């Protein structure tokens, strides 16, 4: 059983949180929702899902987790400017643990400066940002590159989840 950190803030893409979160729980993995503060209610941009953060980013450490999953939508934009989120993602990457991001999720990977030399996919709107961060952008439903798993949009969720579970 793996311990997985879900990075979340308001405005996440509903299904990109719900589907992987439910799949990880169903597979028996422990899933912890990490946000800017503990106890924050985070609502999906479509308002079909809502979660409460269980841990503040400042209290998250790579040694306590096996993987990070970053849902897309507007949440990564808010999270990527937080020093504790970036420190945590860098620590997890330094330990070569799984980091998975879908849609806008790779924005946090860009800010953590962990994309150089990696093959990555993402929402087309941040394609140029990913390239400028040194990644080899590929327009595929899912890309696995070393410890990273990335996908583009909600329609790619089955492949995204499949590859995360395979890496765990």
Active site residues: 103-104
- Which residues does 87 contact at the CB level (< 8 Å), separation at least 6? none
Structure tokens at 32: 């912890």
Distance in angstroms (rounded) separating the CA atoms of residues 85 and 99: 13
Distance in angstroms (rounded) separating the CA atoms of residues 45 and 36: 18
- Which residues does 61 contact at the CB level (< 8 Å), separation at least 6? 88, 91
Of 43, 49, 163, 153, nearest to 102 by C-alpha is: 153
């Amino acid at each position: 059983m793996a311990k997985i950190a879900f990075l979340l803030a308001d405005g996440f893409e509903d299904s990109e949180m719900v589907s992987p979160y439910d799949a990880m729980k169903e597979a028996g993995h422990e899933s912890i929702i990490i946000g800017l503060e503990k106890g924050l209610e985070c609502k999906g941009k479509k308002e079909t899902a809502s979660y409460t953060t269980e841990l503040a980013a400042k209290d998250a450490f790579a040694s306590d987790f096996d993987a990070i999953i970053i849902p897309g939508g507007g949440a990564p934009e808010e999270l990527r400017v937080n020093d504790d989120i970036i420190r945590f993602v860098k620590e997890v990457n330094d330990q070569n643990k799984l980091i998975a991001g879908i849609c806008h999720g790779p924005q946090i990977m860009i800010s953590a400066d962990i994309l150089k030399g990696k093959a990555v996919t993402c929402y087309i709107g941040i394609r140029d940002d990913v390239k400028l961060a040194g990644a080899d952008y590929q327009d595929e439903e899912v890309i696995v590159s070393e410890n990273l798993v990335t996908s583009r949009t909600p329609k790619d969720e089955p492949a995204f989840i499949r590859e995360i579970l395979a890496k765990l």
